[in-house]
Structure 1
Amino acid sequence: MEINLRRHVAVGDATIGTMTIGDFTCYTLEDVIRDKKVWGKTAIPAGVYPVLMCESPRFTQSYEKKGLGRIVPLLDGVPEFTGVRIHVGNVAEHSHGCILVGDDWDRKSARITGSASAFKRMMKALNATPGNHRITIVNDIAEAKAKFSHPPAPLFMMMQGRGCFPA
């Protein structure tokens, strides 16, 4: 199964994106994208990674108690990272370099909501297709910054007092 993650917005100490698996779509929250890794505070590099479905030493018992199952997706082969998983959480501090999923995100802060329900739906989508899974992660943030770095030329000129719009 192909998992697609597109990173769209940098908000404070987090990166917000969208994840698609077939018909399933949710929001994602990750740490900040950095050129150099800072342990527990850096999003993984964009790229394509195999996804293994396995138990987690950190999450298995607590997830089972919460009705989330025993399996947590693990991204394999991420350069300079180990133990990168897709799991529940609401803010960047919950991420530690992993990918968090949620039903919605607060546009005023770096926070996602509905994480447990999004995780359950994600697992249902992944379990519907047995076999190998992989995730493709794409950064769309640089393109968005370029589009919004300054106003369009006519508006920019008017703001500078060098022109006006025709009557």
Structure 2
Amino acid sequence: MKIIVDRFISDSESTISHISVDQRFVCFGLEDEFRAIKVLKETRIPAGTYKVALRTRGKHHQQYIERFKDIQHEGMLEVLEVPGFTDILIHCGNTHTDTEGCLLVGTSAHTDPENMSVSSSSIAYRKLYPLVVGAAKNGSLSITLEDNDR
């Protein structure tokens, strides 16, 4: 199973994308901006294809078990084996201040320059997570991030 993150617009703070699973649009994404030189927790994930697995440790995992009981949250979706990056999660949030270098999800995107955001993040997470959790558990989930914004 494959998640595709098609980055289509960015500014000096944020990047907005379409997120699809197996060629079906699921939600929008928001990340930090592109940087040629990484700044910790302020740089988007480099373009490429990576493995996604479940992470069952950390504060997000504990919070999401409680927050997402209705979808039986089993672990955070973690993007692995990204050169120079660690602790990359797919999680809820609305603006670049929520990302910390991770990928946020939302049902709609606001693309006003210097004021980009995604909305209804919990709803988008409830839509995405059940589609991919099985593949993440059995090791068959990947994510491809494409730069079509520059």
- TM-score band w.r.t. shorter chain: 0.7 to 0.9
- Superposed displacement of residue 11, structure 1: 3.2
- For structure 2, the residue ranges without an aligned partner over 5 or more in a row are none
Match of 2:78 in 1: 74
Match of 2:146 in 1: 138
Identity among equivalent positions (%) equals 27
Q: Which has the higher strand share?
A: 2
Is contact 1:61-1:70 (8 Å) kept? Answer: no
Runs of 4+ in 1 over 4 A off after TM superposition: none
Match of 1:112 among 118, 125, 128: 118
- How many aligned residue pairs are there? 142
Is contact 2:90-2:104 (8 Å) kept? Answer: yes
Match of 1:90 among 90, 94, 99: 94
Q: Which has the larger radius of gyration?
A: 1
Match of 2:105 among 96, 101, 106: 101
CA RMSD of aligned residues (A): 1.6
- For structure 1, the residue ranges without an aligned partner over 5 or more in a row are 143-167
Is contact 2:65-2:74 (8 Å) kept? Answer: yes
Q: TM-score, structure 2 length as denominator? A: 0.88
Q: TM-score, structure 1 length as denominator? A: 0.79
SS at match of 1:121: helix
Is contact 1:24-1:121 (8 Å) kept? Answer: no
Match of 1:165 in 2: none
How far apart, in 2, do the equivalents of 1:95 and 1:79 lie?
A: 18
Is contact 2:30-2:105 (8 Å) kept? Answer: yes
**Greater RCO between the two (CA within 8 Å, min separation 6)?**
2
How far apart, in 1, do the equivalents of 2:133 and 2:54 lie?
A: 9
- Superposed displacement of residue 70, structure 1: 4.0
What is the letter of the counterpart of residue 19 of structure 1? I
